[in-house]
Structure 1
Amino acid sequence: MVKSALHKKVAITGANGFIGSTALKKLKAHGLNVRPIFHNQLPDDATDYDYICCDISNNASINGVFNDIDTILHLANYVGNDESLAQKVNVQGSQNIVEEARRAGVRRIIYVSNASVYEGPTHKGIKESEVACKPESLTSITKLQAEHTILEFEESAILRPLFIYGTGDKWFIPSIATFCKAGLPPINEGKALLSVISIDTLADYLLRLIQCPDSTDGIFHVSEPPVELKKVIQYCENKLALEGSNSTIDLESAYEKLTKYGVRKHQLELIASDHYYNCDRINNLLQWAPENTFDSAIDKYSNWYEKVFAN
């Protein structure tokens, strides 16, 4: 008899990270048998789980970690500018996971990458196979390398969100808030449509993929309905009690003003023009699509962003 998804054990790497912590709670709340994999920091509720501490970049450290595991949610990653760490965690760590998964007889690996791996200044509803990959940031470059490794596994799914918001977000909304604090008016009138997804909706996708009885092999876009940049700016301005600007600025001028904040041009390109993606492939597979929109979901995370903005 084939076990149901409730009885198959799921391992989560990066279980105390931005995505992993929410996914862990979501899967547990739905009765799944979960084994969180922590690195060196344990959450307060760690003893509620059959957890393991290890270093995925060390092959010997993960020996036996995936014994009796059906599915691995690979959510551990390094985001930053340290090339050595990016290679160690994102690339070597993923290679180690694939090798140990094969040895342990794991059935499937699900990995969360990012849509910033694509080339091109503008993406309007593209499908997964319509644009070549040409990542620019260190994180995206090493995530794409990790994708290639994981896709060699017998059954693997790669999820590509673009901007993720919600509790734990230190990059998307906080970056927009930084632009607002710098007095930067909306780039190109803030008309760019952006693929965004809340951390809870992303966890819903992961849960449904695990429960899906069909093959989940391949690359998938995941997103809520796209939102205009100006709506994200308005949210930040309201939370920061800033007066909105009626003017606009072009990409080059914005980059010139923000270089002192360490902002890269590619970061601005992602919000200066349309970057939204077709999610039909995964939504048709799961026979489900998220009902949340940025407008309906963002207030749920106000407490988090108020703390972030206060710093």
Structure 2
Amino acid sequence: MTVPSGELAAARAILVVGGTGFIGNAVLRALSRTDGVDRDRMPRLHALSRRACAAAGIPGVRHVTGDLTDRRSLRGVCSGIDTVVHTASYVGRDPQRCEAVNGEGTRALLDEARRAGVRRFLYVSTASVYGTGPHRGPGEGQVGPAPASPASASRLCAEEEVRAEGGTVLRPHLVYGEGDRWLVPVVARLLRLVPAWPAGEGARSSVIEVGDLARVVAALVHSPWVPDGGRTYHVADPRPLPMERLLAEVRSVLRLPAPRRVSAADHRELVRRSLPGFTDHQYALLTQDHWYDTAAIWRDTGIDPGPGFQERFTACSPWYREQLDRAVGD
């Protein structure tokens, strides 16, 4: 299935759930761009979040207040909406809140979408539903989910609900870029507290810059076709990233020397002592192979994956430096 060149579907309105968050805001920005889109076909953009606020200064975006944990607050939010892009999630460790936001919240949103006759529903999930690897290049459907946390388990349940309604699921793995509060900040904290790294052949991971992820979402939203009901896509740069390169870039931002090399067992013990809340699953995500075949999404959207990690990370390094320096100052 390929998007015909130059063809874009007219949309009545798009609702971005979690539109003020890291991924949701990038999606709104991508959807608000007019490049290659006939102005007469530009959609009306709505951003749903719990608190009334401007959608990070994006002109023309209408804010809608609603809480995924409160069904009553969602009544009517999909009225007149053609496409829902669901980017909201809770990634903490409270199992009840995971179910309330990711599980029941997604079901409530799907109920509203069904009532309103929404044409397409896109859910941004995570490749963490596969659990701890190593994973070395499986395509969609070639490895079974084995979530290792309440957050991933509840997001897997949400995926199943979305696919059952004919929606499309996107599974990025590690996402970086302006607004990132998890990947690079966690790596930075790790390098500051534990100036060491396991010796031996380094891991590779699937990564994507948040703007490139947003471009994928925008391409699916604007395309004249709706992916086959229940479709799941891996979404990442097609070139797996050696984690050594990520470490080197983060060290450069932090102005840190190269870490000393220790055995894997010694490194894990050092991390346990310095970061006792760092789970085995989180540790594995940074130290084991977790990369996936992403050919399908780039083929079906027909867009270019972009220049890759080095250029993208260089562009956002000043933002990371400001944020990480501020964190040290606080």
After superposition, residues 179-190 of structure 1 pair within 5 angstroms as: 179-189=190-200
Of 238, 253, 256 in structure 2, the residue corresponding to residue 239 of structure 1 is: 253
* Aligned residue pairs, count: 307
- Using the TM superposition, give the Cα deviation of residue 204 of structure 1 relative to its aligned residue in structure 2, in angstroms: 0.4
Deviations 1:21-72 (A, max 9, x none): 1111110123432111121151353773222111122111111110111110
Contact 1:16 1:41 in 2 (8 A): no
Distance 1:112 1:135 in 2: 16
Q: How far, CA to CA, are the matches of 1:286 and 1:232 in structure 2?
A: 27
Give the alignment partner of residue 20 of structure 1, picking from 9, 21, 24.
Answer: 24
Counterpart among 245, 267, 270 of residue 254 in structure 1: 267
Match of 1:275 in 2: 290
In structure 2, C-alpha distance between the alignment counterparts of 1:48 and 1:214, rounded to whole Å:
26
Q: Matched residues in 2 for 1:290 and 1:115: separation?
A: 18
2:43 and 2:200 mapped to 1: Cα distance? 45
Distance in 2, Cα, partners of 1:246 & 1:161: 31
Report the Cα distance in structure 2 between the residues aligned to 1:246 and 1:80, rounded to whole angstroms: 31
Instruction: Please report how far the alpha carbon of residue 129 of structure 1 lies from its aligned counterpart in structure 2 after TM superposition.
Output: 0.6
Q: Percent identity?
A: 29
Distance 1:113 1:120 in 2: 16
Q: Which runs of 5+ in 1 are unaligned?
A: none
Please give the TM-score of this superposition, normalised by the length of structure 1.
Answer: 0.93
CA contact (8 A) 1:11 1:66 kept: yes
For the residue of structure 2 that corresponds to 1:186, the secondary structure is: strand
- Match for residue 117 of structure 1? 129
Q: Which runs of 5+ in 2 are unaligned?
A: 1-6, 35-41
AA of the residue aligned to 1:70: D
TM-score using structure 2 length: 0.88
Tell me the distance in 1 between the aligned counterparts of 2:232 and 2:110: 17
Over 3 Å counting, the alpha-carbon distance change for 1:188 and 1:161 in structure 2 is: farther
Instruction: Please point out which of 176, 193, 197 is paired with 2:204.
Output: 193
Q: Spell out, residue by residue over 1:68-115, the C-alpha distance to the aligned partner (whole angstroms, 9 max, x if none).
A: 111100011112122222111111110001111111101111001111
Q: Deviations over 1:278-306 (max 9, x none)?
A: 01111221123402311110022123211
Q: 1:177 to 1:189 in 2, by over 3 A?
A: farther
Aligned position for 2:213: 202
> Which residue does 2:227 correspond to in 1?
216
Question: What is the one-letter code of the residue matched to 1:112?
Answer: V
Once superposed, what is the RMSD of the aligned Cα atoms? 1.9
Give 1:159's match in structure 2, choosing from 170, 173, 179. 170
Taking a change above 3 Å as real, the CA distance of residues 169 and 257 of structure 1, as seen in their structure-2 partners, is same
Contact kept in structure 1, 2:27 and 2:214, CA below 8 Å: yes
Distance of 1:289 and 1:99 partners within structure 2? 34
Q: Cα distance, 1:122 vs. partner?
A: 1.0
Q: Distance in 2 between matches of 1:159 and 1:53?
A: 25
> Which SS does the other structure have where 2:313 is aligned?
helix
Query: Which 4+ residue blocks in structure 1 deviate beyond 6 angstroms?
Result: none
What is the match of residue 171 of structure 1?
182
- Whole-Å Cα distance in 2 between the matches of residues 308 and 287 of structure 1? 34
Q: Provide the C-alpha distance between the structure 2 equivalents of 1:99 and 1:169, rounded to a whole number of angstroms.
A: 31
State the distance in 1 between where 2:70 and 2:201 align.
44
Determine the C-alpha separation between the residues in 2 that align with 1:138 and 1:129: 22
8 A Cα contact 1:18 1:168, kept in partner: yes
